[in-house]
């Protein structure tokens, strides 16, 4: 007796059946044969994606916008994501937290989940002072690529009296202050990124430091002193973010800060400066970049991403993709501005990719940790 010919199922029926399976299973079903591959819609559109938060901050579903394909789609919410707020993204994973101060890594496509410590140690071992990890004190969180329960490192810019670095690793039960005597005094951290096994940070004064946290003790390296940046920045206040090319070149993206107290203008063009770190015989220095060629940089609240647009149709080269997030607090509640924009370096102007404004009243039952949009690279690992 011969088995049924499953390839003869009508494509519409096959697509409907596949929707009942989890995303990783759908990917395997689609790879079964040519007929099934043609009938089932791809579960993974081309990356990078833009993660778009729900307007009310609850995030019942995961909504994304594929930049290369210029299409949006929504994945049903995982139980682990319900009631949580996303505070970062890297290598196909979210960093999520809730009002009870639980912190986790979550892959929203596979459901894989890694619980992180919920307490942070402010001082060294001889002066331990634990406190609950407060999501409202988070500036930014990044982590090592392809994390697993037994192998991960997470670093957060966290506000104590100032913006400092705290980290945790697999096997540890708390967040630890990342201190170094090499950094300049009375400085705080502005941005952080992970690349090729190291964490790169920039301070308020423009000093760039690399941390290798793979061993028992952190290894700290000064990449560039603040004096190298001061000499190339014109007058003004800039938001500074780190980025790195696929070949390891280090970049800074500087955007002229706007006055949040003024009326908000989505289409307003602020000046953008892109710098590349160059190594000379004397000391590293920053050079102004006018043309990125086929490369584009995606910066914002997630780990920065560098892409080559040569083989990625739908994406534009020589551009800066930026996510932004501005909460303004009033007596009745909070007005939240979210947007994602693209700065064309050749044309010298912005193009808006996404923008939303919504008001969250103070009458909500639980605290709201206002989440921004951010870049996302899907992974089934």
49-52 β-sheet, strand order: 71-76, 61-66, 49-52, 374-376
Relative to beta strand 319-329, strand 163-169 is unpaired
Residue 130 pLDDT more than 70? no
Weakest-pLDDT range from 85-94, 118-127, 224-233, 325-334? 118-127
Q: What is the pLDDT of residue 258?
A: 67
Q: What is the pLDDT of residue 28?
A: 65
> What percentage of residues in the chain have a pLDDT greater than 70?
81
Confidence of residue 31 (pLDDT cuts 50, 70, 90): low
- The candidate with the shortest Cα–Cα distance to 58, out of 23, 92, 96, 90, is 96
Tens of pLDDT, residue by residue over 177-199, are 887 755 555 578 999 999 999 99
Tens of pLDDT, residue by residue over 50-66, are 998 765 545 556 788 98
What's the predicted TM-score (pTM) here? Answer: 0.85
**Strand, coil or helix: 205:** coil
Q: What is the pLDDT of residue 125?
A: 44
> What percentage of residues in the chain have a pLDDT greater than 90?
38
Q: What is the pLDDT of residue 378?
A: 85
Helix axes of 23-30 and 11-18: crossing angle, nearest 10 degrees: 150
Residue 126 pLDDT more than 70? no
- Cβ density class 315-335: b for 16+ within 10 Å, e for less: bebbbbbbbbbeeeeeeeebe
Confidence of residue 120 (pLDDT cuts 50, 70, 90): confident
Q: What's the sign of the alpha-carbon dihedral 258, 58, 133, 217?
A: negative
Weakest-pLDDT range from 36-45, 125-134, 257-266? 257-266
Q: What is the DSSP letter of 331?
A: S
Q: What is the pLDDT of residue 205?
A: 87
Q: Which comes out higher in pLDDT, residue 127 or 10?
A: 10
Q: What is the pLDDT of residue 189?
A: 92
Confidence of residue 124 (pLDDT cuts 50, 70, 90): very low
Phi, psi of 37 (to 5 degrees): -60, -40
The average pLDDT across 275-288 equals 88
Confidence of residue 43 (pLDDT cuts 50, 70, 90): low
**Strand, coil or helix: 224:** strand
Tens of pLDDT, residue by residue over 313-326, are 889 999 999 999 88
Q: What is the pLDDT of residue 165?
A: 92
**Strand, coil or helix: 20:** coil
Q: Which two tokens stand for residue 46?
A: 């081309």
The mean pLDDT value of the chain amounts to 82
């Amino acid at each position: 007796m011969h088995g049924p010919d499953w390839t003869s199922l009508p494509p519409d029926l096959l697509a409907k059946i596949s929707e009942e399976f989890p995303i990783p299973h759908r990917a395997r079903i689609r790879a079964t044969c040519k007929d099934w591959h043609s009938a089932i819609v791809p579960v993974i559109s081309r990356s990078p994606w833009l993660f778009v938060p729900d307007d009310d901050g609850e995030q019942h579903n995961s909504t994304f916008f594929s930049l290369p394909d210029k299409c949006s789609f929504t994945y049903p919410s995982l139980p682990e994501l319900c009631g949580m707020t996303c505070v970062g993204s890297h290598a196909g994973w979210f960093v999520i937290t809730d009002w009870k101060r639980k912190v986790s890594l979550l892959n929203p496509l596979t459901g894989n989940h890694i619980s992180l410590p919920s307490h942070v140690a402010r001082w060294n071992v001889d002066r331990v002072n634990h406190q609950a990890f407060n999501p409202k004190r988070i500036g930014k969180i990044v982590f090592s690529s392809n994390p697993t329960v037994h192998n991960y490192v997470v670093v957060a810019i966290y506000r104590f009296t100032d913006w400092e670095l705290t980290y945790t690793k697999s096997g540890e039960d708390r967040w630890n202050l990342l201190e170094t005597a090499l950094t300049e005094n009375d400085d705080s951290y502005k941005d952080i990124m992970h690349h090729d096994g190291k964490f790169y940070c920039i301070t308020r004064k423009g000093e760039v430091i690399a941390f290798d946290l793979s061993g028992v003790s952190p290894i700290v390296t000064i990449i560039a002193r603040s004096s190298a940046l001061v000499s190339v920045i014109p007058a003004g206040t800039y938001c500074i973010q780190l980025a790195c090319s696929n070949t390891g070149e280090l970049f800074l993206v500087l955007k002229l800060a706007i006055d949040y107290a003024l009326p908000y203008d989505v289409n307003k063009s602020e000046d953008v400066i892109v710098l590349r770190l160059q190594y000379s015989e004397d000391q590293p220095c920053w050079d102004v970049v006018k043309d990125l060629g086929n490369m584009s940089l995606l910066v914002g609240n997630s780990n920065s991403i560098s892409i080559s647009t040569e083989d990625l149709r739908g994406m534009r080269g020589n551009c800066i993709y930026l996510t932004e997030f501005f909460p303004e607090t009033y007596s009745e509640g909070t007005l939240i501005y979210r947007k994602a924009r693209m700065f064309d370096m050749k044309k010298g102007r912005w193009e808006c990719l996404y923008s939303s404004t919504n008001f969250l009243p103070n009458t909500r039952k639980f605290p709201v940790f206002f989440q921004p949009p951010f870049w996302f690279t899907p992974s089934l690992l």
